[in-house]
Amino acid sequence: MSDAGFDQAASRPHGHAIPRFAGMATFAKLPHTQSIEGVDAAIFGVPFDGGTTFRPGARFGPQAIRQSSRLLRSYHYGLDVQPFDDLSVVDYGDLAVVPFDIKDTYALVEEQVSVLYDYGVFPIAMGGDHSVGLPLLRACAKKHGPVSVVQLDSHPDTWDKLFGKEYSHATVFKRAVEEELIDPHRSIQIGIRSTLPYRDDLERTRDLGITVITVEELFQRGIDDVAAEALRLVGDKVYLSFDIDFVDPAYAPGTGTPEVGGPSSRQALDMLRALKSLPLVGFDLVEVSPPYDHAEITCMLAANLIMEVAGILAWQKMHGRQGGAVETTE
Ligand SMILES: [Mn+2]
């Protein structure tokens, strides 16, 4: 390297020349570009929280996660990969949204994410509240047909209507089933634990065909056992949706609808690691609400969860999804 401040292999300044706390905040200091030719994965924000029912603020999630991702370094020793070097990953910026119109936002998000799918770019979305999951799934299904969903969440998000409205962060998966964006019989929710307005809420989710694993069952059986069930259940295309309120609010206070008694940061990372063989076609990390965060706890966790998924994509590229030499046997 001729220039001590520039990593020529990675075409970017390295962290030991320009301090990680300096400069503009992109995700993990990746290049910000909307040129996606040849790009493997694009990380982007969906700064919309108009589907929120309790605390607002998730519209500020993407920028705060970027800020807290500055410390992410390139090598992931747990998976033995350097995801941002083994893959071409960019910070695509934030999508256009209409802060006070959910239907217009849905149309915009679907259109913008469809471009990524058209170019074969893996979408890594930073919410925004969970309502943005619906247009993300619409774009995904337009490319892939009905997919399996693995949803890590404290809430089912399968209610029919809220305040008489069909679109919100609590109705997204009911709509996704109705619109045939997902195959409910090959989809699973893990971590469910909120108090519920109706006695039959969990049964109604199961009646849709979705497998529901409460947080009690998760801890009784263990992360690896539940992950193995998810891996057996899903089809060959999986959309992974990570609601940050899956994690206990002691570890992720900066969220709109916190529910106590959840997994720790470590357990959340282990959950993703245990799912590393999922045949992923899309990922979102939603519901980070920075105004309720403290000392960047939640945003740093969100950044590391995204790093974990980027690591999984790199691991799959190097080893095949099952960790063996053969990638095309399924
Ligand atoms: Mn949710």
Q: Select from 106, 139, 115 the least CA-distant residue to 39.
A: 115
How many A from CA of 71 to the centre of ligand 1? 27
How many A from CA of 200 to the centre of ligand 1? 18
List pLDDT tens digits, range 293-315.
Answer: 999 999 999 999 999 999 999 99
How many A from CA of 85 to the centre of ligand 1? 31
How many A from CA of 196 to the centre of ligand 1? 13
C-alpha–C-alpha distance, residues 151 and 211, integer Å = 10
| pLDDT band at 326; cut points 50, 70, 90 | very low
How many A from CA of 149 to the centre of ligand 1? 13
Is 25 inside a domain boundary?
Answer: no
How many A from CA of 328 to the centre of ligand 1? 33
How many A from CA of 254 to the centre of ligand 1? 14
Predicted confidence (pLDDT) at residue 56 exceeds the cutoff of 60: yes
Q: What was the pLDDT predicted at 293?
A: 98
How many A from CA of 61 to the centre of ligand 1? 15
C-alpha–C-alpha distance, residues 69 and 292, integer Å = 18
Contacts of 22 (CB under 8 A, 6+ apart): none
How many A from CA of 129 to the centre of ligand 1? 8
Asked whether 281 and 314 are in contact (CB, 8 A), the reply is no
Is 62 inside a domain boundary?
Answer: yes
Query: Residue 279 phi/psi, 5° resolution?
Result: -80, 80
Q: Give SS3 for 327.
A: coil
C-alpha–C-alpha distance, residues 301 and 153, integer Å = 15
How many A from CA of 172 to the centre of ligand 1? 8
How many A from CA of 151 to the centre of ligand 1? 8
Q: Select from 305, 210, 196 the least CA-distant residue to 259.
A: 196
Predicted confidence (pLDDT) at residue 11 exceeds the cutoff of 70: no
Domain around 113: 40-319
Average pLDDT score over the chain: 93
C-alpha–C-alpha distance, residues 182 and 6, integer Å = 44
How many A from CA of 182 to the centre of ligand 1? 16
How many A from CA of 145 to the centre of ligand 1? 22
Q: Give SS3 for 225.
A: helix
Scanning the structure block, which residue is given the tokens 């619409």? 138
Is 328 inside a domain boundary?
Answer: no
How many A from CA of 169 to the centre of ligand 1? 6
List pLDDT tens digits, range 29-45.
Answer: 999 999 999 999 999 99
C-alpha–C-alpha distance, residues 119 and 29, integer Å = 23
- Number of structural domains (the chain) is 1
Predicted confidence (pLDDT) at residue 176 exceeds the cutoff of 80: yes
How many A from CA of 144 to the centre of ligand 1? 23
Q: Give SS3 for 214.
A: strand
Is 330 inside a domain boundary?
Answer: no
Is 207 inside a domain boundary?
Answer: yes
Q: Select from 174, 171, 163 the least CA-distant residue to 131.
A: 171
How many A from CA of 156 to the centre of ligand 1? 7
Is 11 inside a domain boundary?
Answer: no
Instruction: Write the CATH number for 259.
Output: 3.40.800.10
How many A from CA of 243 to the centre of ligand 1? 5
Q: What was the pLDDT predicted at 200?
A: 87
How many A from CA of 75 to the centre of ligand 1? 30
How many A from CA of 188 to the centre of ligand 1? 13
Q: What was the pLDDT predicted at 329?
A: 39
Q: What was the pLDDT predicted at 328?
A: 41
Q: What was the pLDDT predicted at 330?
A: 38
pTM of the complete model: 0.94
| pLDDT band at 10; cut points 50, 70, 90 | low
Q: What was the pLDDT predicted at 203?
A: 92
Residue 310 DSSP symbol? H
Is 265 inside a domain boundary?
Answer: yes
Is 233 inside a domain boundary?
Answer: yes
Q: If you write DSSP's letter for every residue of 126-187 in order, what string do you get? A: EESSGGGHHHHHHHHHHHHSSBEEEEE-SS----S-BTTBS-STTSHHHHHHHTTSB-GGG-
How many A from CA of 227 to the centre of ligand 1? 19
